Amino acid sequence: MRYILVFVLFFVFPPSTTAQDPLVAPDSLAQAQWVHSKYGSMTLDEKLGQLFMVMANSNSETTGVQYIKKLIREEHLGGIIFSKGGPVRQAKLTNAFQELAKTPLMIAMDAEWGLAMRLDSTYAFPWNMTLGAIQDNAVVEKVGRQIGRHAKRLGVHINFAPVVDINTDPNNPIIGNRSFGESRELVSAKGIAFMKGLQAEGILTSGKHFPGHGDTAVDSHHDLPIIPFSKKRLDSLELYPFKQLIGSGLESVMVAHLEVPGLELQKGLPSSLSEQIISSVLQEEMQFKGLVFTDALNMKGATDFGSDGEVALRAFMAGNDMLLMPKDVIAAKRSLEKAYASGKISERRLARSVKKILMAKYKAGLHDHKPIALENLYADLNSRDDDLIYEEAMEHAVTVVKNNLNLLGLKNLENKKIAYVKFGNAPHDTFLNTLNKYTSVTEVRGANLAVLKKNLANYNLVIVGHHKSNDSPWKSYKFTQTELGWLKGLADDRGTNLVLCVFTRPYALSQITSFQNIDAVVMGYQNSDLAQQKTAELLFGAIPAQGKLPISIKGQFPLGTGMELKSLKRLGYSIPERVGMDSNRLAKVDRLVNNGLDSLMFPSAQVLVARKGKVVYNKNFGSPTYTSQERVGSSHIYDLASLTKILATLPMLMKMEEEGKIDLANTFEELVPDYSNTEIKNVTVLKALSHYGRLPAWIPFYIRTLDKERKPSKEFYRTQPTPGFSTKVADNLYLTDAYRDSIYNRIGRQDLKSNRYRYSDVPYYVMKKYVEDSYGSGLDHLISEFLYKPLGANFTTYNPLEKFPRSQIVPSEEDNYYRYQTVQGYVHDMGAAMQGGVGGHAGLFSNANDVAKIMQMYLQDGYYGGRRFFGPRTVKKFNTCYFCDKNVRRGVGFDKPQLEHSGPTCGCVSRKSFGHSGFTGTYTWADPEEEIVYVFLSNRTYPTASNTTLVKSGLRTRIQKAIYDSIIN
């Protein structure tokens, strides 16, 4: 067999006799046989046709399509390069074109950052300059591979990528963001990684634009750029990446239209037409044996040199194999035909290029061509995998260029009042919305600098976002002169920290003359939604900073500038697949919640799921009431009811336990000396919070304050605040302040119940009193200062009407038994209402995102956002079931999974998990083993608390089951 292969190779590809006719060996006997068979069956006309690749637009008119079909039939084209259009239209055209071709067509595209470089309805991956900031080349290879998958799915065989021009001229109008950077090593490494990714999917690659288009301020589409450097400089810089890629298996090279006097002596001769540059330098000196493409021959850099026929012939004689996009392909082909007839083009020279083209077609799978399947094409080109890879790339790319005094990631949020100022003319909503997931960030504007500074007077941190178009890498990236003036004015105000985030090419930084008074600079590189989101996450420490500048900012920041920052372990935001969950399975949650809406279990709900520190599901359902037109959004807040126990009172008790202010063995008598002569005096903190203290479930304090008509008695209430009646229970309803003592006296008169498990609100009245007496301040103030403000949980509060408009607060009930009004903005629980809205067991309001922050803090053993609120030992201590042997499942404050068949969870969670549920239809649960946080908020008590269908249906735990079912094994 070995002798047969050698014979075939010798016969098909006889030994070279000149440097201009390099030997190209096939990869296999099968490839050699196919090439030999194809070439042997071709007429001269068909062979010449293989040299040409013309452009097609899938959005072109019928006449244009018919003309290309005519060229395929009559001129036997070698390939098609697709440009503008859409994927389905292109697939249909490709199938139609291939059906007409005697020899399968090589389909090409410029898909440097994905098919979206040319097509609508397709995925745009990061630009090369963005990839250049990534330090892990495996991530760059993943991007290349995903682009390769898309190309293969669409029937594209060669991607004219990667661009390996070294962009050493910041004013380069055509390369810029298309380059990986300004370092030869960086460009080479990224280019090889990108190339390997494409090749892994069977896509042919093409290094461009040879011999290097990076150091020029002229666009070869419009003129002939001059690269005025010596051969020594070119060899050490511009040619370096091409050498590296060739040594790593590059299949083709695209030759640019450049005047390069260091390599070609003839003045004005484009490199694409230079035999010295292509045959001598590329093929002989650099030993490149792959395909050589011209850049588009309809570009000004080539067309000025002569007619189509002259240019095409000169290009072929210079050593190019495929002639890309001549203005008149027929005239160009006739010129080559005449040259062949006259002997100027030898059969050997023609065979060399045509056989190389056929070899490439075989390698691309065209020996076994199959039509493109149209079914699911759009979905295949816009998948979850694309989002995952883009997200990973952006997380690795975002670069902290400056970070004075370790300002980033932002900590101590309780001390910061943050404003956002927008620069640029592109969308900024994703950035601002993501910032507001971490803390309150207000967009501030001004008609001029003076007005802007006045409006910013109350803020101590200003984030400026420079947002420029993400449509293409050629769009304008510069600051306006007005913006530069404003930036300087803001920087000069030293009473405020200033953070600059740039969502465009890094060269924008070169406009800024001084960074001395700008405290932090972050490069987001692009203005895509994900770039904005990841930059915001980085500012708050949800993700680490890993990127480095792929270019230098003269006089300011050298190449490779980039500060590495560790994550502060705040929640990030992603998609289910990022954390090992299946989006399609998780979509069952939508169906379950919507079924709850349809079944009138509740008017509205918020549902959040986080895993491994990433929020992967956060949706809002329904309207505040069954009749309202407004839809619930993420900023709406709910009455959390008994979730207050673990989100407000319990954190304070855990803090006090660490400080030695309370012990689980303490008795009620020790906490409240007034209880020394009561039956409850020996109830311990441990037993009480484990609901094993034999206390009553609840005490309806409000009933004794009603008159004979069961309305609020004038003895206890006033309609306006007056001396001695300042405890606001609801609108126009003020309770006598003296009743606070009555509440605690009544608790002291309670008899202990039978010695068994009994869920009870009563301990939290006692705990609230002890906490407040210990610190001399209200529970609402204490927990806000200790936990909510540092966490950035700005939607979490008692008495929300003091901070939020009523319309932002979801109503809880139409009360017809106590307050006789719509309960909206006031705590639903009557006992908490009688304490001025601040109860140890109820009274807290929040949204799902804030609840998740607190639960994630617990999940992380008391650490969140760069701060340790309490130690792991404390979390474990309170998250322990001390009376499981008594058939009591509860931890200390936390609810725990059921011990037998029924209980508070789906039965699919770990024993280490913990959480709580609330009367108003709320629920949250955290599982350290699966690293899951689940939050369900609803107002099932509206319009009446007697609606218990949510509870009876088990919907909240059925949703929990769907969450666990979505985990990919």
What's CA 774's distance to the chain center, in Å?
Answer: 45
Q: How far is CA 809 from CA 11, 126, 246, 797, in A?
A: 83, 40, 64, 11
Structure confidence at residue 24 as a pLDDT band (50, 70, 90): low
The values of phi and psi at residue 846, to 5°, are -170, 180
pLDDT for 5 beyond 70: no
Cα 80 to Cα 54: distance, rounded to the nearest angstrom: 5
Chain-centre distance for alpha carbon 796: 26
Is the pLDDT score of 25 beyond 50?
yes
Confidence grade of residue 1 (pLDDT, cut at 50, 70, 90): very low
Q: What is the pLDDT of residues 482-500, one digit of tens each?
A: 999 999 999 998 789 999 9
Residue 301 binned pLDDT confidence (cut-offs 50, 70, 90): low
Quote the pLDDT of residue 8: 47
Whether the predicted pLDDT of 394 surpasses 90:
yes
What type of residue is 418?
I
Structure tokens at 220: 């070869």
Q: What share of the chain is helix, strand, coil (3-state, %, to 5)?
A: 40, 15, 45
Asked if omega into 409 is within 30° of 0 (cis), the reply is yes
Residue 17: the pLDDT is 36
Average pLDDT of 360-382? 97
Distances (CA, A) of 657 to 381, 662, 666, 692, 916: 55, 5, 11, 20, 21
Distance CA 525, CA 632 (A): 34
Average pLDDT over residues 659-675: 97
pLDDT given at position 160: 98
- Kindly tell me if the per-residue pLDDT of 19 is higher than 60: no
pLDDT reading at 902 higher than 90:
no
- pLDDT of res. 221: 78
Q: What is the mean pLDDT of the chain?
A: 95
pLDDT confidence of residue 62: 79
- pLDDT (0 to 100) of residue 15: 46
Q: Would you list the DSSP string of 629-640?
A: -SPP-TT-BEE-
DSSP for 23-76?
----SSHHHHHHHHHHHHH--HHHHHHTTEEEEE-TTS-HHHHHHHHHHHHHH-
pLDDT tens-digit readout, 426-450: 999 999 999 999 999 999 999 999 9
Give every strand in the sheet of 520-523, ordered side by side. 399-403, 520-523, 497-503, 461-467, 418-424, 441-443
What is the mean pLDDT of the segment spanning 657-665? Answer: 98
Cα 9 to chain centroid distance, Å, stands at: 51
Map residue 941 onto helix, strand or coil. Answer: coil
pLDDT per residue as tens digits for the range 820-855: 999 999 999 999 999 999 999 999 999 999 999 999
Query: If pLDDT is split at 50, 70 and 90, which confidence band does 527 have?
Result: very high
pLDDT at residue 26, as a whole number: 79
| Residue 304: per-residue pLDDT | 73
pLDDT recorded at residue 13: 53
**Predicted local confidence at residue 83, as pLDDT:** 94
What pLDDT is recorded for position 766? 98
Long-range contacts of the stretch 762-765 (C-beta < 8 A, 24+): 762/688, 762/695, 762/696, 762/697, 762/698, 762/699, 763/683, 763/685, 763/688, 763/689, 763/691, 763/693, 763/695, 764/644, 764/645, 764/649, 764/839, 764/840, 764/841, 765/831, 765/839, 765/840, 765/841
Question: Does residue 18 register a pLDDT over 70?
Answer: no
Residue 644 pLDDT level (bands cut at 50, 70, 90): very high
What is the C-alpha R_g of the chain?
Answer: 36
Q: Tell me the pairing of strands 733-735 and 727-730.
A: antiparallel
Q: Sorting pLDDT into bands at 50, 70 and 90, what band is 2? A: very low
Q: Would strands 932-938 and 717-718 be described as parallel, antiparallel, or unpaired?
A: unpaired
Q: Residue 279 gets which letter from DSSP? A: I
Cα dist from 565 to 327, 439, 710, 955, whole Å: 53, 20, 62, 42
Percent share of the chain, pLDDT over 70 = 97
Cα dihedral 816/817/818/819 (nearest 10): 0
On the question of pLDDT at 610 being above 90, the answer is yes
pLDDT of residue 3: 43
Taking residues 384-401, report their average pLDDT.
98
User: Structure pTM?
Assistant: 0.94
Whether residue 425 is predicted with pLDDT greater than 80 in this model: the reply is yes
pLDDT of amino acid 16: 43
Q: How far is CA 168 from CA 164, 175, 181, 238, 263, in A?
A: 12, 10, 8, 10, 19
| Lowest mean per-residue pLDDT among 157-161, 302-306, 930-934 | 302-306
